[in-house]
Structure 1
Amino acid sequence: MDLILEYRSQLVTGTVMTIQLALASLVIAVAFGLLGAWAKLSGSRVARRLALGYTTIVRGIPDLVLIMLVFYGGQVTLNAIGDATGLWGYIEISQFVAGAGTIGVIFGAYFTETFRGAIMAIPRGQIEAGISCGMPRQLIFRHIIWPQMVRYALPGFTNNWLVQLKTTALVSVIGLQDLVYNAFTAGRSTGQLFTFMAAAFVIYLALTGLSDIAFRALNRHYSRGVERA
């Protein structure tokens, strides 16, 4: 316990970095998920095929492979294109940008299916009723589609978020000083690797527990009226 207290600042810094990485990648994942769901439900065959290709490829490649591919190969590719075209100079991709972007794109594929299924669960008659009443698309989305989509998507969304939060541990292999990286460094320097990995275990468990409580509250909010009915 004394070792944990001695290295508490390092663990706190790593925990904050993990939370920042998880939230940044969540924003990207939700954006890609909504865009992918729209593409799969659109009337455009090209959009549907692009969305299908995106979800198929991303879900078929291991997360760690994609992270390392983007971090090590993406920077080389961008700089090669810049040298060849003269459009930009040297670009350096940071560990945070590579990690957040890659994890966001990966889980965007999973959120695509979550949002698509939630939208398809909404009774079509409600949307048609809104159209017949002369409601513009923005109003239909805000008052009919969005509240019900959130309620239907929350179970899958919660599961994806919890997996995504744990997936952030993979960025430690590219040198980002997150919770796992800092815990491993402290454990290796003190010879007490198990102690610090156990501390990381407890912190991740606390983060997932708090997330579960928050999503349960959100689910109760969007299920008001439905549960009473």
Structure 2
Amino acid sequence: MSILTILGFGPTGWGGLLLVALLTTLAVTLVSLVIGAVIGTALAAAKLSGSRLLRLLGGTYSTVFRGVPELLVIYLVYFGGSSAVTAIGGAFGYEGFLGLPSFLAGALAVGLISGAYQGEVYRGAFLAIVPGEIEAARAIGMNKAMRLRRILVPQVLRFALPGLGNVWQLSLKDSALVSVTGLAEIMRTSQVAAGSTRQYFLFYIVGGVLFLLLTSVSGQIFEAAEKRTGRSLAAGIGRN
């Protein structure tokens, strides 16, 4: 059987399954980035807070999830979550094991890891804002909600974009570890295809190419976003 047939979209080809796996990887990464953004925002707020307890909690979370191996976090979320779901089912009279959905477990685990890194990105972006801008906003009578919408959020996002690009790439690679839960993303599908056809080198190379495709395209998107925000800043300075 030729390589084109094996990788094609015919009845004996793996092209369709690989395409679905690529979309699954992209979906896991997108969901995990959203989860991480929520956690990261709360984490940055905690570490910038005047409360010693909140700073301690934020620092502990950041240290744990950046220091513990990603695979261990995925195992803990998947098996721990499945145990919790089974216990809840048992409380309602259900007998047997209830597994946490692989997609949910994977996205949540990668999101928890992503949140630890995003928290540091947002914290650094907030500290990069010139204090005079916030003071000027107060001077002209902006309330907290308006300062947040007009000054803080746009500035934080602009400064955070390069770091968020790195976090995205990290989450894309971490999504390969979700294969241990049985989710048919790129790594898992490549592994199954390689075992079924005995074409190990071919399918692992294809898996690597698909990851490189995702990272290359997403890298260009983040680069374009950075250039756009840079032009907006330059235009604002020019008007001033």
Please tell me whether the aligned partners of residues 85 and 99 of structure 2 are also in contact (alpha carbons under 8 angstroms): no
CA distance in 1, matches of 2:93, 2:106: 23
CA RMSD of superposed structures (Å): 1.8
Given residue 119 of structure 2, which amino acid in structure 1 is its aligned partner?
A: T
For 1:103, give the aligned amino acid.
Answer: V
CA drift of 1:64 comes to 0.2
1:39 paired to 2:42:
no
| Equivalent residue, structure 2, for 1:113 | 120
Identity rate, percent: 38
The Cα offsets for residues 147-191 of structure 1, whole Å up to 9 and x where unpaired, read as: 221121111111111111111000111111111111110111100
Are residues 1:95 and 2:98 paired?
Answer: no
Q: Is the 8 A contact 1:183 1:200 kept in 2?
A: yes
Answer whether contact 2:190 2:204 (CA < 8 A) is retained. Answer: yes
Partner of 1:59: 66
Alignment of 1:1-229 (within 5 A): 1-2=3-4, 3-5=6-8, 6-80=13-87, 86=91, 92-227=99-234
Q: CA deviation at 1:92?
A: 3.6
Distance 1:68 1:91 in 2: 16
Which structure 2 residue ranges, 5 or more long, are not aligned? none
Q: Runs of 5+ in structure 1 lacking a partner?
A: none
CA distance in structure 2 between the partners assigned to 1:151 and 1:138 by the alignment: 19
**Residue-pair matches, total:** 227
Contact 2:73 2:109 in 1 (8 A): yes
Contact 1:147/1:222 (CA < 8 Å) preserved in 2?
no
Do the aligned partners of residues 88 and 125 (structure 1) sit closer, same or farther apart at CA in structure 2, a change above 3 Å counting? farther
Tell me the TM-score normalized by structure 1.
0.93
Spell out structure 1 runs of 4+ moving beyond 3 A: 77-83, 86-92, 225-229
**Alpha carbons 1:39, 1:47 under 8 Å: kept:** yes
Q: Does the Cα contact within 8 Å between 1:15 and 1:179 map onto a contact in 2?
A: yes
| Aligned equivalents of 1:163, 1:114: Cα separation in 2 | 13
The whole-number CA distance in structure 1 between the counterparts of 2:129 and 2:16 is 48
Alignment partners' CA distance in 1, 2:161 and 2:173: 18
**CA pair 134-88 structure 1, distance change in 2 beyond 3 A:** farther
Q: Distance in 1 between matches of 2:82 and 2:42?
A: 26
